[in-house]
A = this chain, B = another copy of it.
Amino acid sequence: MPFVTIQITREGSTPGADAATADEKAQLIHGVSKLLLDVLGKPMDATFVVIDEVETENWGWGGLPVEQFRARRRAG
């Protein structure tokens, strides 16, 4: 009966993608449900997963919107 929330920025991880793909989301859902089965013995049918995609301008890190934070890090 676990409930897992995965919050990620809405952006692609592969060339041409501008968000996680349906297949990547399915892998996240399966992977974390399997993990709860393996570690705590929770039946997969009793686990809910929600993936929450957050616009990059709504995600902050280091006191900055995340894209500015990354640019600052790259600039070193």
**B-binding residues in A (CB < 8 A):** 1-9, 13, 20, 22, 24-36, 38-42, 44-45, 47-54, 57-66, 68
Contact = CB atoms under 8 A, between A and B. Distances in A.
| Interface of A, helix, strand, loop or mixed by DSSP | mixed
A48 B28 contact: no
Contacts of A6: 2-4, 32, 36
A8 B28 CA distance: 18
B57 A22 contact: yes
Contacts of A38: 31
Given A2-B6, A20-B40, A41-B13, A47 B63 contact: yes
Contacts of A48: 1, 3, 48, 59-61
